[in-house]
Chains A and B, each alone.
Chain A
Amino acid sequence: DAKTTQPPSMDCAEGRAANLPCNHSTISGNEYVYWYRQIHSQGPQYIIHGLKNNETNEMASLIITEDRKSSTLILPHATLRDTAVYYCIVRAFYGGSQGNLIFGKGTKLSVKP
């Protein structure tokens, strides 16, 4: 089962920042937090990942709390094309795991004009 908890849905106004929360209270010290999104039935699209520091790239910012038990994905200026299901995933690389991703149900983000 997924080790993360996300709200099932959120709305955001076009042009505003979208802040998507994720709880991962049982995360281990060597597990990364990954964010993907899926638009309609397309393949999951990688957005960003981090271990303990905040990260930013051209798509989004990732804020991880100091205790690493939760994180927030920020889309700074949401557009209609950002409407998608967003997945927060804790990725393990131990115990024989090769880092396969365990998807939950994610958050369905609807960006409205």
Chain B
Amino acid sequence: EPEVTQTPSHQVTQMGQEVILRCVPISNHLYFYWYRQILGQKVEFLVSFYNNEISEKSEIFDDQFSVERPDGSNFTLKIRSTKLEDSAMYFCASNLGFGGNQPQHFGDGTRLSIL
């Protein structure tokens, strides 16, 4: 069964450094999402992306964050200057099309640790 894959599984970065998290969505999917989950807290929506542009973003997704689909398969989340509070699990998700009948499928996440 097709799945969303994320790399790396664990990323350790010094505070203030830039980090790029990578995702390969399911191949025929058109809508892409990033979520994060701080340890012990809820899963939180960050951003949705369709047709090479951001569709919707949350308050968390400030100017330090950016997303890109650099080629036909990858979907990336960049944090420009990481802070301690960016430490979290980051999940990528994708779904086939727009509408309530299209479930999102998630990857297993990247654990980001900021030192």
Cβ of A104: which chain B residues have Cβ within 8 Å of it? 42
Name which of A38, A45, A103 has the most chain B CB atoms within 10 A of its CB. A103
B interface residue count range (under 10 / 10 to 19 / 20 to 34 / 35 or more): 20 to 34
Cα A93 to Cα B48 in complex, Å, equals 13
B45 within 8 A of A: yes
Q: How far is the CA of A9 from the CA of B25 in the complex (A)?
A: 32
Query: Whose C-beta in chain A lies nearest to the C-beta of B47?
Result: A100
Contact B42–A44 (Cβ < 8 Å): no
Question: Does B106 lie within 8 Å of A45, measured CB to CB?
Answer: yes
Nearest CB of chain A from residue B77's CB, rounded to whole Å:
14
The answer to whether A98 and B43 have CB atoms under 8 Å apart is no
Q: Are B100 and A102 within 8 A (Cβ)?
A: no
A21-60 with Cβ < 8 A to chain B: 30-32, 34, 36, 38, 41-46, 49, 51
Chain A 87-99 near chain B by CB (<8 Å), digits 1 or 0: 1000101001111
Give the residues in chain B near A80, CB-CB below 8 Å.
none
- The answer to whether A102 and B98 have CB atoms under 8 Å apart is no
Indicate if the CB atoms of A41 and B95 lie closer than 8 Å.
no
A77 interface hit (Cβ, 8 Å): no
Interface size for chain A: under 10, 10 to 19, 20 to 34, or 35 or more residues?
20 to 34
Chain B CB within 10 Å, residue with most, of A51, A99, A104: A99
Is A101 interfacial (CB 8 A cutoff)?
A: yes
Contacts of B91 in A (CB 8 A): 43-44
| Listed stretches B12-20, B67-75, B107-115; interface member | B107-115
A43-B100 in contact (CB<8A):
no
Contact A103 B100 (CB under 8 A): no
B31's contact among A41, A44, A98, by CB below 8 Å, is which?
Answer: A98
Q: Which A residues are CB-close (under 8 A) to B56?
A: 96-98, 100
What residues make up the interface of A, taking CB atoms closer than 8 Å to B?
A: 30-32, 34, 36, 38, 41-46, 49, 51, 87, 91, 93, 96-105
9 further A-B contacts with Cβ under 8 Å, apart from A41-B37, A98-B50, A99-B48, are A32-B100, A38-B43, A43-B106, A43-B108, A49-B103, A87-B43, A102-B45, A103-B42, A104-B42
